[in-house]
A and B are shown apart, each in its own frame.
Chain A
């Protein structure tokens, strides 16, 4: 599948700039001056970029790999949402346990073997242990946890 999304992105940016512009009226001077300049810059350069795109279209943003990256971005949103329920370390463990093998399969096209799952499990253990030692034990950062009175 081929996705040409640069023109769509520029149009979206112009729309967002227009939306922000509508909010300028309620602002007191001089709080509105800088945003006005910035919005003109954003909308102006987006329009020029759009024209450039029509004159000389850039390379296509294609394929399965782009969609895979988008899927990972979406999964990150689910992971962040999960943190608020089960805490950082548990959510991260689950996330890495799932993502490591999936990325390996997606990158190399290699089958999902027991060895790959074991390596992913060990890598997760190492990363989560390192994070725990650095952030919780040494730096005393109050990370959201499932069984704590922390800020979940």
Chain B
């Protein structure tokens, strides 16, 4: 009962006009930052910290929550229009979002991304409100072996992405994993594969490398392409009306992806990339026609976007319940909570319940505001397709450069961006998909850290299997991995059969 009272008071406090205006400004800023490749949601939140401190706790936290939601959503715009994930969380959005743009369905993709993000965000926030205390306790049961299997589950998406040639997909994923091993190893902390070049000790940064793989290489492809425009864009009419039945039809997909996003978000360190990739893979696995994925299936886009925005609230669960941030973004918000003198954890409800519930209420309102602000901003964003590609390609290179530099204030990051970009471009010329490479780069460190720490734990028990396999959550995750593997093999066979049938019917006079 007290929860409902606090929540009601929270909504009343957040619906204050000043807070609403601050949130609208934060949403606009968050969408812009999220759309710009290289500028991450963490950067957006941390840049706003000094402003948040100058406000009262309710307004300051509402602003940070709004910018977090908006920046994660904003990443979808660049992913859909330019095949460039604006934030790493939108990696899976590129798989079907960009093909939709190429098919002249940019408006549909952008609005679907917005609606899916809003629904995902709302589902995640409702779960946060209901269960942040018990779910936070569950996240403590995840140790290194469980993280290892979770990363493996994410890496199995490579098989799903490798339509046509599994070997090339595996090779691309392997190259990404190999790049992730450069630098200090996560288990003993010694430099590895640096070849005597000191800057390599800090490794291949994720943000600059993803910029290189998806943006820089894309710029080179645009420059190489003879076409004057990315696509012959014609505005679609009544997109929202057309999308309504689509979302009603895919309500289960939305719910499942949002639950996956929230669940993964709760696990500290798992993040939006894993959330969206697992949701994408599950969407593909449950679909009757998985062959459409990667070729402009709106379901893939909905799964990815609803999961990464649901992850926002999920990552706040352990932060608010236990004081353990589920992501770098949550860590920055935790810093803000502490700066306001609010102690997260079990005493949060007793001591600062009003602020905590006002913050959760503000996340609901932020998502609803994002629907309106985002819909208005889409009209301007989509106009990038009216710019000749001769101007877009060089501009992307200049943006990538400053984006990579801003990731660590170091020219080395820019070199990493360009190097990985050129490598990705050459790999793509050999017919290798770039999604697996990005996936390997992101999930490699998570998998390696989980494996390394598990092996160290196994030294104490003298049994690798006992530590790595025979644990309840590990066994459950291994089961999911086997299921994903078997279903992807089945899907590849089915796809090959369908191709054969299509070819045979085409050859028949």
Once the chains bind, are B224 and A69 in contact (CB under 8 Å)? yes
Q: Answer yes or no: B496 CB below 8 A from chain A CBs.
A: no
Separation of A136 and B430 alpha carbons in the complex (Å): 39
A23-B192, A34-B451 given; A95·B430 CB < 8 A: no
Interface range on chain A: under 10, 10 to 19, 20 to 34, or 35 or more?
A: 35 or more
CB contact between B398 and one of A49, A77, A96 (< 8 Å): that residue? A96
CB contact between A76 and one of B388, B418, B427 (< 8 Å): that residue? B418
A39-B178, A52-B167 given; A31·B401 CB < 8 A: no
Query: What are the interface flags for B32-52 relative to A under an 8 Å C-beta threshold, 1 for contact and 0 otherwise?
Result: 110010010001000100000
A14 to chain B, nearest CB (A): 10
Q: Answer yes or no: A103 CB below 8 A from chain B CBs.
A: yes
B189 to chain A, nearest CB (A): 9
Interface range on chain B: under 10, 10 to 19, 20 to 34, or 35 or more?
A: 35 or more
Once the chains bind, are A41 and B401 in contact (CB under 8 Å)? no
CB contact between B401 and one of A5, A65, A88 (< 8 Å): that residue? A88
Using CB atoms, name the residue of chain B closest to A108: B228
Q: Answer yes or no: B104 CB below 8 A from chain A CBs.
A: no
Separation of A6 and B171 alpha carbons in the complex (Å): 13
Separation of A58 and B185 alpha carbons in the complex (Å): 37
Using CB atoms, name the residue of chain A closest to B414: A80
Q: Answer yes or no: A112 CB below 8 A from chain B CBs.
A: no
Task: Give the residues in chain B near A111, CB-CB below 8 Å.
Answer: none
A4 to chain B, nearest CB (A): 10
Task: Give the residues in chain A near B224, CB-CB below 8 Å.
Answer: 65-66, 68-69
Q: Answer yes or no: B415 CB below 8 A from chain A CBs.
A: yes
Once the chains bind, are B452 and A20 in contact (CB under 8 Å)? no
Task: Give the residues in chain B near A134, CB-CB below 8 Å.
Answer: 32, 36
Once the chains bind, are A107 and B430 in contact (CB under 8 Å)? no
Separation of A73 and B390 alpha carbons in the complex (Å): 15
A20-B178, A41-B170, A42-B174 given; A33·B451 CB < 8 A: yes
CB contact between A48 and one of B167, B187, B425 (< 8 Å): that residue? B167
A79-B401, A92-B398 given; A104·B390 CB < 8 A: yes
A9-B426, A33-B455 given; A107·B228 CB < 8 A: yes
Task: Give the residues in chain A near B397, CB-CB below 8 Å.
Answer: 72, 76, 79, 95, 99
Using CB atoms, name the residue of chain A closest to B430: A6
Interface centre among A13, A38, A106 (most CB of B within 10 A): A38
Once the chains bind, are B395 and A83 in contact (CB under 8 Å)? no
A22 to chain B, nearest CB (A): 11
Binds A, one of B55-63, B235-243, B280-288, B402-410: B402-410
CB contact between A5 and one of B228, B411, B415, B430 (< 8 Å): that residue? B430
A49-B171, A95-B398, A141-B406 given; A31·B430 CB < 8 A: no
Once the chains bind, are A92 and B401 in contact (CB under 8 Å)? yes
CB contact between A100 and one of B39, B181, B391 (< 8 Å): that residue? B391
B59 to chain A, nearest CB (A): 20
Residues 94-127 of A contacting B (Cβ, < 8 Å): 95-96, 99-100, 103-104, 106-108, 123, 127
Residues 42-91 of A contacting B (Cβ, < 8 Å): 42, 45-46, 48-49, 52, 58-59, 61, 65-66, 68-69, 72-73, 76-77, 79-80, 83-84, 88
Query: What are the interface flags for B169-208 relative to A under an 8 Å C-beta threshold, 1 for contact and 0 otherwise?
Result: 0110111011001000101101011010000000000000
Once the chains bind, are A135 and B167 in contact (CB under 8 Å)? no
Q: Answer yes or no: A131 CB below 8 A from chain B CBs.
A: yes
Interface centre among A28, A59, A80 (most CB of B within 10 A): A80
Once the chains bind, are A95 and B394 in contact (CB under 8 Å)? yes
Residues 415-430 of B contacting A (Cβ, < 8 Å): 415, 418, 421-422, 425-427, 429-430
Q: Answer yes or no: B6 CB below 8 A from chain A CBs.
A: no
> Which 10 A-B pairs have CB atoms at the shortest separation, nearest pair first?
A42-B174, A31-B185, A30-B455, A69-B224, A45-B171, A6-B430, A34-B448, A99-B394, A103-B390, A41-B174
